[in-house]
Chain A
């Protein structure tokens, strides 16, 4: 049975939101470490974290398949506790989260680096430990960039194709996202249906990018 355009858009958006929710805490934590700490091998860590940005998405998908497939310990363990990844909606979330992660880290890091360290230092002299300083000073002052990071990550997730098709397969009604459906329709020669999905996809991406730009344009703290 064929999915309606609305159902496809809703599924893709929901997966994008889940992926953003998964990638954001880890991404912001990584961004904070890169913005505020220096340690040996930092360049290697930086490069590794942003690798999905330049690696072919299909290659990333293949790596994820190796990691979460039933031939790996991780894949078998998750399967044993009833949380199989490969060819389920979870695989869509994993693929989207991994692909949007570098964009989140880069945007969040730029925002965190803009926070004047003197505010954090003064807060610590007022008795605030590192976690309270992060929660009450760093986070609110970087809020705009962090929101922008989340929106950009979400927009990237919506367009995810290469890794998704490898690890989630694009099963209609189960793991098929907008971009995978556009691919399937193009393959089947149904250009007008593909165009309709293209417009929906472009509309979602356009909306998200406008929002990201509006949030970042103002300088006042959120």
Chain B
């Protein structure tokens, strides 16, 4: 559980993002169609994008605040980020990918976030000697999530972790995400355009539309109608 607060305004061409929320979250779902600003929001939280105005804080620590000129660079934020398709480093094997952030781990990192324990939790120990190009979509995604967890993030941002993975395999990844929540206790921000993914995993959902917050609350209420419509 961590307190995540943000109030972000961003303009990029004709697109504007203006979203604010504050809550104690275990898994915060961000739902919306493509182009609604989900990825931009994650990039602002991770420090990859500077908002025009606004503030971001995680666990009470201010990561960015334009009014006081604070903008911690990504490498000082301890915010894990897994972009769509994982973006595994193609010149390193799976093990070196996973261990990339191991020497910048927080000294206070929980022993549950040991690399070995993370690899066991995500079931990737047998993949570590493989080249990145030889991994399947689902395997890549798990290696990318492990890589982010090894750097001992205080919060983990997942951008469409199940996109590009076929339906049968999606059901095999979701349990791993639930294990991160249950066994590793790392809070997640989970971005997706598929409402059904969030119903099982999120404890709070933000629904974005055209860069604005259309709704926020528990998944059943925010997404109930969407999921029911999709099932018809």
Contact = CB atoms under 8 A, between A and B. Distances in A.
Interface of A: 116, 118-119, 121-129, 136-137, 140-141, 221
B147 interface: yes
Contact of B91 (A118, A127, A129, A221): A221
A187 B89 CA distance: 57
Interface in B82-100: 82-83, 87, 89-91, 100
Classify the interface of chain A: helix, strand, loop or mixed: helix
Interface string B63-106: 00000000001110111111100010111000000001101110
Interface string B99-135: 0110111000000000000000000000000000000
B91 A124 contact: no
B128 to A, nearest CB: 17
Nearest to B106: A127
Given A125-B80, A127-B104, A119 B48 contact: no
Interface string B39-60: 0000000111000000000000
B202 interface: no
B148 A125 contact: yes
A141 B151 contact: no
Contacts of B79: 125
A123 B89 contact: yes
A125 B75 contact: yes
Interface in B130-155: 147-148, 151
A126 B100 contact: yes
Given A123-B89, A136-B100, A141-B91, 14 more contacts: A119-B89, A119-B90, A121-B74, A124-B48, A124-B73, A125-B47, A125-B80, A125-B148, A126-B151, A128-B75, A128-B100, A128-B101, A129-B73, A137-B89
Contact of A123 (B47, B73, B78, B100): B100
Contacts of A140: 91
Given A124-B75, A125-B74, A127-B151, A119 B87 contact: yes
B90 A128 contact: no
Contacts of A128: 75, 100-101, 104
A127 B102 CA distance: 9
Contacts of B75: 124-129
Nearest to B90: A221
B101 A127 contact: yes
B87 A125 contact: no
A143 to B, nearest CB: 8
B82 to A, nearest CB: 8
5 contacts: A122-B83, A125-B74, A126-B75, A126-B104, A127-B103
B91 A125 contact: no
Contacts of A118: 83, 87
Contacts of A123: 89, 100
A125 B104 contact: no
A118 to B, nearest CB: 5
Contacts of B89: 119, 122-123, 137
Contact of B77 (A122, A125, A221): A125
In the A-B complex, list the 5 residue pairs whose CB atoms are closest, starting with the nearest: A127-B104, A126-B101, A221-B91, A124-B74, A125-B81
A204 to B, nearest CB: 31
A93 B89 CA distance: 38
Contacts of A119: 87, 89-90
A15 to B, nearest CB: 33
B170 to A, nearest CB: 22
B4 to A, nearest CB: 16
B189 to A, nearest CB: 13
